[in-house]
Structure 1
Amino acid sequence: MKDYTKEKPLRHLIARHWDELEIKERLETFVQELSNGGTITPFFVGDSSSIDQAREFFKHFETRRITFRYTAFQLFYKVAADDDYNDLRGQLLFKFQVDNSEHTVLLMMARLRDAENVEWKIADVLWYDEGIDCAPQSLDQLEAPKKNEEICLLKTDIGEIGLRLFPEQAPFAVKNWIELAKQGFYDDTPFARVIKEFVIQGGALDGSGEEAVSSYDGYFEDEVDRGLYHFNGACALGNHGPHTNGNQFFIVQNTKVDADILPQLSLPENVKEMYLSLGGLPELDGRYTVFGQVFRGLDVVAAIADQPTNSEDAPLQAPVKIRSIQFIIS
């Protein structure tokens, strides 16, 4: 029995656009057959030492509601073969959704010739996860303030930014923000780092103080993966790595999302749709603590981000400053 993982690459290649299309169509057909309970034997090589294990893996998903999500070659190379129709191999990242769970698999693929044509076939399952919950999420983050909700008003040199805060999902971050703001920590401080179509950032990163200053006497823990996302206008804590939250914060200012990156991320479909509609930075999800959302004043955020900057993203002219932060009941 052949072990395709032991073949020696003769030359590493870059998968062409039509190679990606070819494998995508192949895996889409595979998913359709798997979902419909059809025969999947033709999609596997017949002489792999790991083929029984690979078939057994996919049999767990037979006849269930399966949706193709994404494929991309991680490695693409040539090996020694009897002819040029049988010499391409690849390690393929393959994402598919089963009900509300998204699964990611790394497949060993071989492009082989049979009696009729040349097709990509599965030679092995190299790695897989246990599935990630991608059920539709509530998007309360984007709703208008509710009656009697405490809202936050940032008064800047060029206008007012209204923020909703989310103490249930990010209690440490919201408490820290409110206490520092009420102490006047942010008064007369600048948005010292601004990047158009990315973020505007404030806090002590301008060197005016210690970034670890917080209401917890130093850095405090992250509160990520709580159903809050980096949509355009999201307010989150800046950090230097896990659990280094202090007084740094940023507001997302990105009106367009690259649609090509969304299939690579394990996000609910309604969240992906909202990213495409509103903009944002989905690549930051899971790494930073979102604790607020702009509900009024996105034009002010955009104007701050539009300032000319130097090579370190600092405004060339006098930066826009926060003059005060107030809290009112809606």
Structure 2
Amino acid sequence: MKFKKQPLFSNLVLMPFVLWATLGCTTQKDNNEAIETPVQVEMQTDLGTIIVELSDKTPKHRDNFIKLVKEGKFDSLLFHRVIQGFVIQGGDPDSKNALPTDTLGNGDLDYRVPAEFDSSLYHKRGALGAARDGNPERASSAMQFYIVQGKIANDSLLEVADKRINGMLAQNAFINASENKSLYDSLQKAIAEENWELYETINDTIKSLGKDYTNFTRYTIPEAHQKVYRTIGGIPHLDQNYTVFGEVVSGIDVVDSIAAVQTSALDRPVKDIRIISMRIVPNE
């Protein structure tokens, strides 16, 4: 997918596919191999090893990630988007053989993963999230993921985050409202046809009209989450709009090292930082 499209980390709120069935405390794979959960994935990078644990509360994302890891889809890909105090992002299949001058962030497989939001999963430091574009279902990229580095939040930043969360929820509720079906269909058509000029025009309309939309359930950042954001840090304004499907359990210092590298104006590391390999950590 080399065509020009919307970044897989938009400020707003792109084919169906079948995921594996899950039962009890195991994940049933297509090769009939059962994997005990919770599943941990070891990520070998140029700067060290990161281990993430996948949440059983987001089974579609968990199973999709396991499948891609077992198929070696992430091996040799770059962390193509690195922003200190925010995230390190990888998983663009186009990055495997990318030239230093290539613009990355548009590559993906030909399906999305349905959004999975759980109130206990949020963008604290070390959270593993799924990148996405501006589709109205808030469905995730099949491959692109990010790990939160984040920063410490004070009361003022949490107040701003609250407004941003609910602003995005309002826009999403607006575009999905039955009375706005024609606008919804136009947005989907623009995405399908890769008509990004029309997409931006419709998106601007959604932002303008959606900011005053009130027919949705407002979200309040739980006090327990606020405490974590004030002490450990994270990116609170992404909560409930991007799926969090795991967290770092080892190697957060490696995340910090990657986040600290020199980057270009497009947030790509000047010196490539590569995911050497990923593997499922065997249960002992």
Give yes or no for contact 1:192–1:206 (8 Å, CA) kept in 2. Answer: no
- Identity within the alignment, %: 34
Match of 1:235 in 2: 128
Match of 1:290 in 2: 244
Match of 1:152 in 2: 41
Separation in 1, partners of 2:130, 2:42: 17
Distance apart, 1:310 and its partner CA: 0.6
SS in 1 for 2:129: strand
1:149 to 1:287, Cα distance in 2 relative to 1, 3 A: closer
Separation in 2, partners of 1:197, 1:176: 28
1:251 to 1:208, Cα distance in 2 relative to 1, 3 A: same
SS in 2 for 1:155: strand
Match of 1:255 in 2: 151
1:255 counterpart letter in structure 2: K
SS in 2 for 1:328: coil
Q: Who wins on radius of gyration, i.e. which is larger?
A: 1
1:257 to 1:325, Cα distance in 2 relative to 1, 3 A: farther
Separation in 1, partners of 2:274, 2:120: 31
Match of 2:74 in 1: 186
Which runs of 5 or more residues in structure 1 are unaligned? Answer: 1-146
Give yes or no for contact 1:236–1:292 (8 Å, CA) kept in 2. Answer: yes
Separation in 2, partners of 1:148, 1:172: 14
Higher strand share: 1
- What's the Cα RMSD here? 2.2
SS in 2 for 1:189: coil
1:315 to 1:323, Cα distance in 2 relative to 1, 3 A: same
* Residue 53 of structure 2 is aligned to residue 164 of structure 1: yes
Match of 2:100 in 1: none
Higher relative contact order, structure no. (Cα contacts within 8 Å, ≥ 6 residues apart): 2
Higher helix share: 2
> Which aligned pairs between 1:44-123 and structure 2 lie closer than 5 A?
none
Separation in 2, partners of 1:319, 1:149: 28
> Which aligned pairs between 1:106-145 and structure 2 lie closer than 5 A?
none
Name the count of aligned residue pairs.
180
Give yes or no for contact 1:262–1:272 (8 Å, CA) kept in 2. Answer: yes
Separation in 1, partners of 2:156, 2:140: 31
